[in-house]
Structure 1
Amino acid sequence: MLDHVSIAVTDIAKSIAFYSQALAPLGITRLKSYGGTNEKPDHVGFGSGHKPYLWLGKGEPIRGYVHIALSVPDRAAVDAFYQAALAAGGRDNGPPGPRPHYHERYYGAFVLDPDGCNLEAVHHGF
């Protein structure tokens, strides 16, 4: 079981703004930060409740393929995530819809973050 994931971002302020807006419909918010200043910390943790599980850190992003999928409670959450992420400046990488090639109940949407990370919201329908 994964506990948390960390990714490097080139512009921490831009990424904080993107992730804050894109994840808000899912109830995922900025919970922790450290290093740097409050406006431009070196690391920021997003999560729900009291536990951050998605961390952004200043640095050189991995070039190539990075994909983070967030499980959501229903299709409406997938749709809301997609709209919020695009409004935050994300780039479409697959609109909300069924993905039966993964499995018969898979419903997801994909958006590229400011550094090209493929961020997904998925509902499995189980």
Structure 2
Amino acid sequence: MLDHMGFRVKDLKAARRFYDACANALGLATIDNTDESFLVGRSAEEPLPFIWVGTALPAFWTAAHRTSAAPIHVAFAAKDRTAVDRFYAAALDAGGIDNGAPGPRGPEAMSYYAAFVLDPDGNNVEAGVRE
């Protein structure tokens, strides 16, 4: 459904450390892009869809786009509960803040298992699997 999305961060090095850990736990990759940004996606060979993460101000953004003025929510699809658990542990080890330990979410009929962690900029990052 999506081709890409992007958001700015205050500290690229801290963000890269956090997203390297999260991506690796989910079988995804962080991909070098520019000195001011990186991508999160399947792999360099299969780059779409991707999430752009950077400190740069893209030309099409206006002064109204402020870093972390309104935290975002990113939810990654995990292949199974073990991947959700790995994501959560890796994110915390990389400096993330607990925002919901792994467990069932929503109505029982959803059969959804997920975990939530805040990244270094306070964005809510989730990994979940629909069973």
Q: 1:24 to 1:65 in 2, by over 3 A?
A: same
TM-score under structure 1 length normalisation: 0.86
Q: Is 1:47 matched with 2:41? A: yes
The offset of 1:65, in angstroms, is 3.4
Which of 89, 100, 103 is residue 97 of structure 1 equivalent to?
103
2:121 aligned with 1:115: yes
> Identity across aligned pairs (percent)?
40
Once residues 28 and 56 of structure 1 are traced to their aligned partners in structure 2, the CA distance between those partners, rounded to angstroms, is 15
Aligned residues: 119
Return the alpha-carbon distance in structure 1 between the equivalents of residues 100 and 113 of structure 2.
Answer: 11
Q: Which runs of 5+ in 1 are unaligned?
A: 35-40
Please tell me the residue identity of whatever aligns with 2:129.
H
CA contact (8 A) 2:80 2:129 kept: yes
- CA distance in 2 between counterparts of 1:78 and 1:103 reads 19
Task: Tell me the distance in 1 between the aligned counterparts of 2:113 and 2:128.
Answer: 6
What secondary structure, in the 3-state scheme, does the structure 1 residue paired with 2:40 have?
strand
Runs of 4+ in 1 over 2 A off after TM superposition: 100-104
Secondary structure of 2:117's counterpart equals strand
* DSSP 3-state at the match of 1:120: strand
1:20 is displaced (CA, Å) by 0.5
- When normalised by structure 2's length, the TM-score is 0.83
Match of 1:63 among 60, 63, 69: 69
* Residue in 2 that maps onto 1:12: 12
**Contiguous gaps of at least 5 residues in structure 2:** 57-65
> Partner residue of 1:82?
88
Q: Deviations over 1:15-68 (max 9, x none)?
A: 11111112211111122311xxxxxx2111121132151110105423233100
When the two chains are superposed, the root-mean-square deviation of aligned CA atoms in Å is 1.6
Which residue identity lines up with residue 23 of structure 1 in the other structure?
A
Q: Which of 116, 119, 130 does residue 124 from structure 1 map onto?
A: 130
Is the contact between residue 86 and residue 111 of structure 1 (CA under 8 Å) also seen in structure 2? yes
Q: Which amino acid aligns with 1:47?
A: G
